[in-house]
Each structure stands twice: as structure tokens, then as C-alpha cells.
Chains A and B, each alone.
Chain A
């Protein structure tokens, strides 16, 4: 069955960087995009970016341009999300989710809590 397994919780100081992984299985890796979302405590869902493992093409919201990088490792069917220059309001659960272009997010990782605190 389709599975997306994310790396464990992280704690960082303001100004640092964090890299979260999302290891996929149960389907052909390059045939689906991977989206990254986050959810601050008690808040809604926020889209952070999208990567196509087939071509490596990425799309990001304007507000995160320059602070986020998405990469893939096709040998392990893993996607990585790196967020730099962390601030306290980056504290959130971060999710990866599988997506066909224009379609829904049909499978989700379990979430990774990133805490940014001095």
C-alpha cells in the first residue's frame, strides 16, 4: 500500500535551518508529485511547495521563495524539504502528501513537528 513516512521531530534556534525527509513506497515514485504543507498549532493548512520527482521541477508560494528547497533522491524514493532562516512562527507540523497534477492530496505522511525556539 502507499506509504509516506517522514523523519522525526526537530527543534531549532531562530536563524537555523531544518531538513525534513519523506520516504515513499507502494507506488512508482516518479509518477506523482509531492506537496509540502504545514499547520501551526490550532491553525489551518498552508501550502509550502511542490516537486515533480520526474523532472525535478519545483513550485513555491511567493512568500517562501528563497527560504525553501525541495529535492528528491530517486534511489530511495525520498523527498527532502529544507527551510532556512527559521523564525518562531515557522513552528508547525510539516506534512508531505502525494499528488497528481491538478488533483487531490491522496496520501499523507504522518507529519513532523518542527519547533523553533531560542
Chain B
């Protein structure tokens, strides 16, 4: 089965840029979706189809996807961005696959 690997944690100072990676075999050929989950809350769609932001998502959030790594970039990080972030794809057998999740800590 297809595996998506994320770093367990990323720490960044407030106002700086955070990059969260999602590694998978030839993930660049798939569409990657990203979710944010704050403590005690329901996951929220953050980025769809590699780089599209749903309505209401700030421009500070952006995505890219190439070869074996997809990346979620958060610019000008704020304290309110502290959350778990998950990447997601559909694999070739129509199974939904999530990444292992990354905890973002804002210093």
C-alpha cells in the first residue's frame, strides 16, 4: 500500500516561514490535499489539488508538489497556526491515504 511520510514535528518562530513535507513514491504524479487539525477540533481542508486554497483560507498557506515530495508552506507563522497537519492522496486502488501527521509548534 502507498505510504506518506511526514516529520513528526516542526518548530518555527512566530513571523517566520514553516515548511512541512509529505514524502511518497512519485507523489508528484498525484493530487495532494492538506488538512489542519487544531487540538480538540475537526480537521479542516487547507489546501486541495497540491496548491488550491479553499475559500477563507489565508494566502499565508501555500502548497507545492514535485517528484517524491509535497510541501505545505506557512508564511508569517502565527501562534494560531499551532496544530497538526496531515497530507492526503488517493492511491491507485482508490484507497484514501493520509500522511503520518506533523505537529507544528510556534516558538
Contact = CB atoms under 8 A, between A and B. Distances in A.
B100 interface: yes
Interface residues of A, number: 19
Interface in B35-82: 35, 42-45, 48-49, 54
Nearest to A63: B1
B42 A44 contact: no
Contacts, number: 51
Contacts of B97: 47
Contact of A105 (B35, B49, B99): B35
Nearest to B89: A102
B95 A47 contact: yes
A35 B94 CA distance: 12
A80 to B, nearest CB: 19
A105 B95 contact: no
B86 A105 contact: no
Contact of A47 (B43, B54, B98): B98
Interface of A: 35, 37, 44-47, 50, 59, 61, 95, 102-106, 108-111
Interface of B: 31, 33, 35, 42-45, 48-49, 54, 86, 88, 90, 94-101
24 contacts: A35-B96, A37-B98, A44-B100, A45-B35, A45-B88, A45-B98, A45-B101, A47-B95, A50-B96, A59-B94, A59-B95, A61-B95, A103-B31, A103-B48, A103-B49, A104-B33, A104-B49, A105-B33, A105-B35, A105-B43, A106-B45, A108-B44, A110-B42, A111-B42
